[in-house]
Homo-oligomer: A and B are copies of this chain.
Amino acid sequence: MNIILNSPLDMHLHLRDDDMLKFVAPLSANNFSGAVVMPNIVPSITTKQELYDYKKRIQEAIGDRIFEPYMTLFFKNYSKDFLQEIKKDIIAIKLYPAGITTNSEDGVKDIDIEHLKPMLEIMSELEIPLSVHGETNDMVMNRELEFLPVYEEIAKNFPKLKIIMEHITTKEAGILLDKYDNLFATITVHHLLITIDDVIGGMLNPHLFCKPIAKTKRDQKMLLKLALNAHPKVMFGSDSAPHDRRKKESSSSSAGIFSASIALELLTQLFDDYGKLDNLQAFVSNNAQNIYKINPPKKVITLKKEEFTIPSSYKDNNLELVPMFADKKLSWSIVK
**Complex Cα distance A141/B213, Å?**
13
A290 close to chain B: CB less than 8 A: no
Q: Within 8 Å CB of A217, what residues of B?
A: 139
Q: Kindly identify which residue among B197, B205, B207, B252 contacts A140, using a CB–CB cutoff of 8 Å.
A: B197
A246-277 CB contacts (< 8 Å) to partner B: 248-255
Contact yes or no, B139 A205, CB < 8 A: no
Q: Kindly identify which residue among B196, B251, B322 contacts A322, using a CB–CB cutoff of 8 Å.
A: B251
Q: Within 8 Å CB of A203, what residues of B?
A: 252-255
A83 close to chain B: CB less than 8 A: no
Contact yes or no, B197 A139, CB < 8 A: yes
Query: Given the interface contacts A139-B216, A141-B141, A195-B139, does A251 sit within 8 Å of B205 by beta carbon?
Result: yes
A43 close to chain B: CB less than 8 A: no
A199 close to chain B: CB less than 8 A: yes
Query: Given the interface contacts A139-B216, A141-B141, A216-B139, does A252 sit within 8 Å of B205 by beta carbon?
Result: yes
**A142: min CB distance to chain B, Å:** 8
Q: Within 8 Å CB of A209, what residues of B?
A: 200, 204
Q: Within 8 Å CB of A255, what residues of B?
A: 203-204
Query: Do most interface residues of chain A lie in helix, strand or loop, or is the interface mixed?
Result: loop
Contact yes or no, A139 B204, CB < 8 A: no
Identical copies of this chain, number: 2
Interface residues in A, total, Cβ within 8 A? 28
Contact yes or no, B253 A206, CB < 8 A: yes
**A21: min CB distance to chain B, Å:** 22
**Complex Cα distance A139/B217, Å?**
8
**A185: min CB distance to chain B, Å:** 23
A326 close to chain B: CB less than 8 A: yes
Q: Within 8 Å CB of A213, what residues of B?
A: 200
Task: Report the nearest B residue to A218, measured CB to CB.
Answer: B139
Contact yes or no, A140 B201, CB < 8 A: yes
**Complex Cα distance A199/B209, Å?**
11
Contact yes or no, B200 A140, CB < 8 A: yes
Contact yes or no, A250 B251, CB < 8 A: no
Q: Within 8 Å CB of A207, what residues of B?
A: 251
**Complex Cα distance A246/B213, Å?**
24
- Taken residue by residue from 180 to 207, chain A's Cβ proximity to chain B (1 for < 8 Å, 0 otherwise) reads as 0000000000000001110111011111
A124-143 CB contacts (< 8 Å) to partner B: 139-141
Contact yes or no, B141 A196, CB < 8 A: yes
**Complex Cα distance A252/B216, Å?**
20
Pairs A-B, 8 closest by C-beta atoms: A204-B253, A140-B201, A203-B252, A204-B209, A139-B216, A249-B249, A249-B250, A140-B197
